Amino acid sequence: MPILRFNITMSLDGYVAGPNQSVKDPLGEGGEKLHEWAVASRAFHKMHGTDGGEVGPDDAIIEETFRNLGATIMGRNMFGGGHGPWGKDPWRGWWGENPPYHTPVFVLTRHAREPLEMQGGTTFYFVTDGIQSALERAKKAAGAKDVSLAGGADVAQQYMKAGLIDEMELHVVPLLLGAGSRLFENMDARQAGFELIRTVQSPLVSHYKYRRVEM
């Protein structure tokens, strides 16, 4: 059965982005360092149409993360472009004309916008009627494949609180950011219903995979 899978990289002190996020620093000050392990992998290079990259446990994790996905969900902040109405020349994302998703992507926003078709099979759909609607549309688009919840922190918290995430993988980097956007805010025992099913270690990052259990 298709499931909703969430994966995200976080610092050792729990932040998924640094302070002062902006168009110049979409992951906040110091936030780019969180993803150095992924950028170094061969799988990351392949997704972005370039050669090279390292193989090993981190590369295998990236390959698995993007396997069997039929749709993606993300928040407005992750897609980018600031807040408020989209304007006459709306933002087209951080990834250029060929984003690495290659699936339909459902962007949660308060402001309506026509779908944005990109190269490589990625089309962004802008969902204004909440997380349940986005998940229903994503599952329909994905067919027999899984749905990826890409983030950021606020959207992930909403799905966790609603009990909608089936699998979660946290990539913990031994970096202290000290401030920024924290993943686990305002949570309680009802949202902690996950069991650890796998750990993978590398010199750059520790990977923890969890599966939802009934509380």
pLDDT at position 191 over 70: no
Question: What radius of gyration, in Å, describes the C-alpha atoms of the chain?
Answer: 17
Contact 171, 206 (CB under 8 A): yes
| 130: amino acid identity, one letter | G
The reply to whether omega before 180 is within 30° of 0 (cis) is no
CA distances from 108 to 34, 83, 133 (A): 24, 12, 10
Helices (H) and strands (E) in the chain, counts: 6, 11
User: DSSP string of 164-176?
Assistant: --SEEEEEEES--
Task: Provide the whole-model pTM.
Answer: 0.91
At 129 the three-state DSSP class reads: coil
pLDDT digits (tens, 9 = 90+) for 153-176: 899 999 998 999 999 999 999 999
pLDDT at position 190 over 60: no
Arithmetic mean of pLDDT over the chain: 91
pLDDT digits (tens, 9 = 90+) for 85-119: 998 889 998 888 999 899 999 999 999 999 999 99
pLDDT at position 215 over 80: no
pLDDT at position 141 over 60: yes
Query: 143-154 in b/e burial notation, b at 16+ Cβ within 10 A?
Result: eebbbbbbbbbe
Across 71-81, average pLDDT = 93
